[in-house]
Amino acid sequence: MGFVEVANLPRTLDGPGFLNFRYDYEVGKTTQADLEKYPGRFTDPRKLESLGVSQLDWYNYTQKTPVTELPSADDLVRTWLSRLELKAPEIENYLIGRTTNWDDIVFQTGLQQDYTVALSNRTDDMYYYWSVGYTEREGVRTDEKYTSFRTRLNLESKVTN
């Protein structure tokens, strides 16, 4: 009996880590000229003060018709997350604070069991060996399971002298 766990596998990003990844991705595929023209374009609008950019200017970066009043705080956050190319369900989950720890859903500590029973005997005219085994193994992924039943029989006899 034993246990198996994930080893040397990078952990899945948590919510903030994933947003940092999306930020780096968007900045990386944007030209330097656009980054200078729209400073803080991919920055969380609640953190624009350190860049010296007003939320209204930041919001108007992507408006066809510039607005004069700021939308709600949720709409600002939606705009930011849309610029990071998150999809509607991801944005809504962010706004209500719902996150998913995929490592807990996908991976597990797997239990491995292996049982074997064997009988054997020898007489002057005959020899036998019989074994029965059962194996049950859970993998590191929650959907992995292997089960086997096995048997073996060896017979040896002396027909005549």
pLDDT of residue 49: 86
% the chain with pLDDT above 90:
66
Q: Which residues contact 4 (CB under 8 A, 6 or more apart)?
A: 109, 110, 112, 137, 138, 139, 140
pLDDT of residue 129: 97
pLDDT of residue 80: 95
Neighbour count for residue 80 (Cβ, 10 Å) = 25
Q: Quickly tell me which residue has 């009996």 as its tokens.
A: 1
Nearest C-alpha neighbor of 13 from the set 118, 90, 119, 120: 90
Q: What is the mean pLDDT of residues 142-150?
A: 94
- Provide the whole-model pTM: 0.67
Q: Quickly tell me which residue has 């993998």 as its tokens.
A: 139
Residue 161, pLDDT > 80, answer no
Q: Which residues contact 125 (CB under 8 A, 6 or more apart)?
A: 157, 158
pLDDT of residue 124: 87
Q: Which residues contact 153 (CB under 8 A, 6 or more apart)?
A: 128, 129, 130
Average of per-residue pLDDT values in the chain: 92
Q: What is the mean pLDDT of residues 86-104?
A: 91
Report in angstroms the alpha-carbon separations of 140 from 7, 21, 59, 95, 115: 10, 26, 45, 32, 21
